[in-house]
Amino acid sequence: MTRRRLGILGGTFDPIHVGHLDAAHAASAALALDEIVLIPAHDQPLRLSEPRATDYHRFALATLAVDDRPDWRVSDMELIRQGRSYTEDTLQALHGCGWDASQLFFILGTDAFAGIASWHGYPGVLDLAHFVVIARPGVAIEEATMRVPELRSRISPPPGGEEGLDGPARIFLVHADTRDVSSTMIRERLASGLPIDDLVPPRVARHIQKHHLYGAVDNLHGKDERL
């Protein structure tokens, strides 16, 4: 019997954008994931400043971004948990819900993977799930892996079928074309009165405008209040 595979994409999502969705899609395609869960962080340990949007709006934006994808969902497990949002705690919580490490696929970009040695619980956190490293603009996969040479023995390309997924947790490298977008770029464009239609899903853009997030002006007021 084939066991379900859960992809996990965590982040501040301040706001969520097409680059996040590209990474999750690439991981799903490469590893035949059955489900993707997005987990907005309450208090991201490596972030130097507080999120600009509230937990409520960041959760809402993530939900709007995936509401047309039946196998994708958003979890509030880190938003309702007190203290820092550590990946180690989240993966252990998923184990407590019955998931095995071999069923969990934590998705991250090359930029995040390059600094993984600074993560809470490293290197033990890498035993709690497979880690799926997605190529991101600005940090090539080769560059990211060179920064953590001690992990080379755990790194491999995505396997075919069930092969390589029942043993110890692995690090899978996925070469993919993901759009060059960042949440900082979006916030800067909104603060300058520039459009973001090519950077976020339409429903996300509408929610940002309607609620004047990140300095946005609602230029569509009165046209569609359903969101």
**Tens of pLDDT along 51-108?**
999 999 999 999 999 999 999 999 999 999 988 999 999 999 999 999 999 999 999 9
Task: Name, in order, each residue with C-beta under 8 angstroms of 160's C-beta and a sequence gap of 6 or more.
Answer: none
User: Cα dist. 176→56, 57, 67, 113, 120 in Å?
Assistant: 31, 29, 23, 15, 27
- pTM of the prediction? 0.92
- Find the length of the chain: 227
Backbone φ and ψ for 220, nearest 5 degrees, come out as: -105, 15
Predicted confidence at residue 222, as pLDDT, reads: 35
Predicted confidence at residue 161, as pLDDT, reads: 62
> Half-sphere exposure of 226 toward its Cβ, with a 13 Å CA cutoff?
4
Question: What's the gap between Cα 205 and its chain centre?
Answer: 19
CB-based contact 35:73 (threshold 8 Å): yes
Helices (H), 43-109: 55-66, 87-96
Predicted confidence at residue 216, as pLDDT, reads: 81
Predicted confidence at residue 82, as pLDDT, reads: 81
Strands laid side by side in the 72-74 sheet: 72-74, 35-40, 6-11, 104-109, 130-134, 171-174, 155-156
Angle between helices 202-210 and 55-66 (to 10 degrees): 150
Helices (H), the chain: 18-31, 55-66, 87-96, 110-114, 141-146, 183-191, 202-210
**Six token digits for residue 198:** 């090519």
Q: Are strands 104-109 and 155-156 parallel, antiparallel or unpaired?
A: unpaired
Around Cβ 1, how many Cβ atoms within 10 Å?
A: 2
> Half-sphere exposure of 90 toward its Cβ, with a 13 Å CA cutoff?
30
Predicted confidence at residue 225, as pLDDT, reads: 32
Predicted confidence at residue 167, as pLDDT, reads: 78
Around Cβ 49, how many Cβ atoms within 10 Å?
A: 8
Predicted confidence at residue 162, as pLDDT, reads: 59
For 6-180, CATH gives 3.40.50.620
Question: What's the gap between Cα 74 and its chain centre?
Answer: 11
pLDDT beneath 70: ranges in the chain: 1-2, 48, 161-164, 217-227
